[in-house]
Amino acid sequence: MPNLSTDQIRERVAALGPWFHNLDLGGVKTAPDHFLGDYPAVKWRRFADAIPADLSGKTVLDIGCNAGFYSLEMKRRGAARVLGIDYDDGYLSQARFAAEVSGLDIEFAQLSVYDVGALGERFDLVLFLGVLYHLRHPLLALDLIREHVIGDLFVCQSMQRGDASEEPLDEDYPFGETAIFERPSYPHLSFIEHRYSGDDTNWWVPNGACMKAMLRSAGFVIEANPEEEVYVCRPGPPPSAYGAVYPARVPARPIKRLGEVAA
């Protein structure tokens, strides 16, 4: 992309809006009035040290990349390859423009988290930030990520509400035990039928205990919790004999990257 003036960048940013990620593109802020402030930079600063500062030679998959904030950060840390995927074509257009203005070589593809098996490869680092609560089938998504694309490190973040504590639980309870479910610290996943914060894509909100339990149930070992909503994990043994709903297999066809012409 040829060098663009500040006015040209500002015009393009306006045309691609509205933006959820507040990026700084050549001095132009994409979402300066974000209701969460300088987001997601304010969030990133709370857990940035939990991800290796040097990603040289590593591959990264950013699931639900939105406008590409985290994809950009991973490439700035020297990742050999970064692939950002999102189901929303508008977000992908924003991300592609942000990468071009920033002069960073990042791949983007329109793909749902439920279809990650079609990628047919595993990545050294997989980011899954701010996506889970937008999904109608969150545990399925974690199962598919664990089964198909995790190579080494998994970083997951979800909005959380409710009690923040966690207490030991027995592995089994008799049918007559009902009081355990009334404890605020018991793993709870709250369902949103209509909207939350004006957003009809908010479907489920876990408490902290539920988020940890879901990750363990999907076969992840939680190594760190650097920020209250962020979990740094590695793949562990399968949690049960049942395995993933959709076991890994070779994709039937290659995934079309953003900007490619279909064959």
Amino acid at 13: V
Identify which of 177, 166, 247, 180 has the alpha carbon closest to the alpha carbon of residue 213: 166
Q: What pLDDT shows up at residue 80?
A: 98
Blockwise average pLDDT, block size 10, the chain, 263 residues? 87 97 97 95 97 98 98 98 97 98 97 95 98 96 95 98 93 95 96 96 96 95 97 87 57 55 47
Q: How far is 25 from 31, CA to CA, in rounded Å?
A: 11
Q: What pLDDT shows up at residue 249?
A: 58
Sign of CA dihedral 111, 216, 139, 253: positive
Contacts of 179 (CB under 8 A, 6+ apart): none
Q: What pLDDT shows up at residue 262?
A: 47
pTM summary value:
0.91
For residue 83, how far is the Cα from the chain centroid?
A: 12
Q: Kind and range of the H or E element at 12?
A: helix 6-16
Q: Which residue has the tokens 């793949």?
A: 235
